[in-house]
């Protein structure tokens, strides 16, 4: 059981939410940049609260009059008429009665037909600063550049990171991490102190929001196939896979006869809903990407665990998923690293193999090579985890993250080892 620190919460309609300083700062920095700010992320991760409450309150603290903050929730049935593009334009125009700056905030813009034309209509209006949210990558993120002709600025929002989670958690960091890896970081979870309530909420959210949304949006006929694919990737987070392998698994284990093209399409639907992300393999030596296989990580471990009815408890893979999500929150592009290795046996015969680096992280000119090692109990395990990192001959930092609270240390080979708590709770941990 955990308790909430009221000082770190904002109350709205009797709902308590965690402050989101990372994303609030991004919104502040993007203000008045003459671009459409597109806030994306999985449903219920806190996009609406971030925009309508946290950002709106910040604007008011800067002297913006409430009448100049136009908030439109398109998921509210009472606003269903505003899903018509012409009606939406008329409504917004009617609110803009002077030359002062107006902050136009539209939640779940994908409900509007021809929403591109609506939003582009405000790009040339100097006293309009436009913000929208959306929960579908294909509909928004992938088309940001083309749809808005380079005038779209995407801000990706994730469920609570561990530091945000711990800002309102009164237990120990050890107990907090265990809870976080079990129930995840969806903001609504912080409302419940009862584990059964958390479980019920997450299972309901998965079934009645995400899956229903995917099936309705794409008109899926084979509900069972989507369920099977979700079960398979949920039970194998961090494992290499591809559509062909998944199709074979469905055939052999679940007796589902399906083409790899269909599997690939369904996987795209899952990623487009921001439920999971696909991570490609990158040849560190050859500096090129492999088309297949790749890995999937869930955007929230609580959702993944709910999908499996909380039956699988795998701290090794769970920690790996947590590290991946933290890197994404910090803005890194993340790949799986591959290092080719040539070995000779006692008779001089060559054999080729590949060593894996869990994460190759890039942000601008920065790059880090990161291994996730839940336990390093002896020298043999240390040697195993360092093997791939030692074979990378560039000067970028190499890090091993272990599932313990340890002092940061650096080996003779220049490899840094740190504990999971230092990594997650210190925003500058990669530079320790």
Q: Which of 429, 400, 430 is nearest to 413 (CA)?
A: 400
Q: Is 228 exposed, middle or buried (0-12, 13-18, 19+ CB in 10 A)?
A: buried
The H or E element that residue 65 is part of is none
Looking at the chain, the whole-number percentage of residues with pLDDT higher than 90 is 75
Q: Which of 347, 345, 338 is nearest to 392 (CA)?
A: 338
Pairing of strands 350-363, 333-344: antiparallel
CATH 3.40.1350 boundaries in the chain: 333-431
CATH 3.40.630.30 fits 194-313, yes or no: no
Answer positive or negative: Cα dihedral of 270, 274, 276, 280. positive
What is d(CA 267, CA 236) in angstroms, rounded to the nearest whole number? 14
Give the pTM: 0.92
Res 48: pLDDT: 95
pLDDT tens readout for residues 72-92: 999 999 999 999 999 999 999
Taking the CB of residue 411, how many other CB atoms lie within 10 A of it?
Answer: 14
CATH 3.40.50.300 boundaries in the chain: 21-156
Q: Please give the residue that has the higher pLDDT: either 193 or 409.
A: 409
Fold of 333-431: Trna Endonuclease; Chain: A, domain 1 (3.40.1350)
Asked whether the predicted pLDDT for residue 240 surpasses 90, the reply is yes
What is d(CA 221, CA 33) in angstroms, rounded to the nearest whole number? 43
What is d(CA 46, CA 187) in angstroms, rounded to the nearest whole number? 7
User: Residue 288 — φ and ψ, nearest 5°?
Assistant: -145, 160
Asked whether the predicted pLDDT for residue 68 surpasses 80, the reply is yes
The H-assigned helical ranges of 74-143 are 85-95, 115-120
Q: Which residues contact 408 (CB under 8 A, 6 or more apart)?
A: 416, 417, 418, 419, 422, 432
**Contact status, residue 40 vs residue 137, Cβ threshold 8 Å:** yes
What is d(CA 142, CA 396) in angstroms, rounded to the nearest whole number? 30
pLDDT tens readout for residues 1-51: 443 443 333 434 455 668 999 999 999 999 999 999 999 999 999 999 999
Asked whether the predicted pLDDT for residue 420 surpasses 70, the reply is yes
Q: Is 315 exposed, middle or buried (0-12, 13-18, 19+ CB in 10 A)?
A: middle
CATH 3.40.50.300 fits 21-156, yes or no: yes
Pairing of strands 350-363, 366-373: antiparallel
What is d(CA 148, CA 131) in angstroms, rounded to the nearest whole number? 13
What is d(CA 400, CA 392) in angstroms, rounded to the nearest whole number? 14
**Contact status, residue 146 vs residue 410, Cβ threshold 8 Å:** no
pLDDT tens readout for residues 165-175: 999 998 999 99
What is d(CA 207, CA 100) in angstroms, rounded to the nearest whole number? 44
The DSSP bridge partners found for residue 15 are: 12
């Amino acid at each position: 059981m955990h308790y909430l620190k009221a000082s770190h919460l904002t109350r709205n309609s009797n709902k308590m939410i965690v402050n989101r300083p990372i994303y609030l700062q991004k919104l502040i920095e993007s203000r008045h940049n003459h671009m459409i700010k597109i806030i994306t992320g999985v449903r219920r991760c806190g996009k609406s609260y971030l925009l309508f409450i946290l950002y709106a309150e910040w604007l008011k603290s800067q002297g913006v009059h409430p009448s100049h903050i136009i908030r439109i929730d398109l998921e509210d049935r009472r606003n269903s008429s505003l899903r018509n593009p012409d009606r939406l334009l008329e409504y917004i125009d009617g609110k803009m009665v002077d030359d002062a700056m107006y902050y136009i905030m539209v939640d779940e813009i994908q409900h509007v037909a021809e929403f591109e034309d609506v939003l582009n209509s405000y790009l040339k209006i100097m006293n309009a600063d436009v913000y929208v949210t959306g929960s579908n990558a294909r509909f928004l993120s992938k088309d940001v550049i083309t749809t808005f002709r380079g005038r779209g600025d995407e801000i990706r929002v994730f469920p609570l990171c561990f530091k945000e989670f711990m800002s309102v958690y009164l237990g120990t960091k050890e107990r907090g991490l265990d809870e976080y890896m079990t129930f995840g970081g969806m903001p609504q979870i912080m409302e419940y102190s009862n584990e059964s309530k958390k479980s019920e909420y997450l299972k309901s959210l998965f079934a009645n929001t995400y899956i229903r949304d995917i099936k309705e949006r794409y008109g899926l006929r084979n509900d069972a196939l989507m369920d099977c694919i979700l079960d398979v990737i949920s039970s194998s987070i961090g494992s290499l896979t591809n559509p062909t392998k998944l199709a074979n698994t469905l055939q052999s284990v679940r007796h589902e006869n399906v083409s790899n093209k269909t599997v690939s399409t369904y996987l795209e639907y899952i990623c487009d809903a921001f439920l999971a992300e696909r991570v490609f393999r990158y040849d560190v030596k050859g500096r090129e990407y492999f088309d297949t296989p790749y890995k999937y990580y869930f955007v929230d471990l609580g959702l993944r665990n709910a999908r499996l009815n909380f039956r699988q408890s795998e701290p090794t893979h769970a920690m790996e998923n947590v590290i991946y999500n933290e890197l994404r929150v910090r803005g890194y592009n993340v790949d799986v690293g591959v290092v080719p290795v040539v070995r000779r046996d006692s008779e001089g015969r060559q054999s080729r193999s590949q060593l894996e680096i869990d994460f190759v992280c890039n942000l601008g000119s920065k790059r880090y090579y990161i291994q996730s090692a839940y336990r390093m109990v002896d020298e043999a395990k240390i040697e195993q985890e360092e093997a791939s990192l030692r074979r990378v001959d560039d000067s970028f930092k190499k890090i091993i993250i272990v599932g313990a609270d340890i002092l940061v240390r650096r080996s003779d080979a220049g490899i840094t080892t740190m504990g999971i708590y230092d990594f997650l709770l210190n925003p500058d941990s990669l530079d320790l």
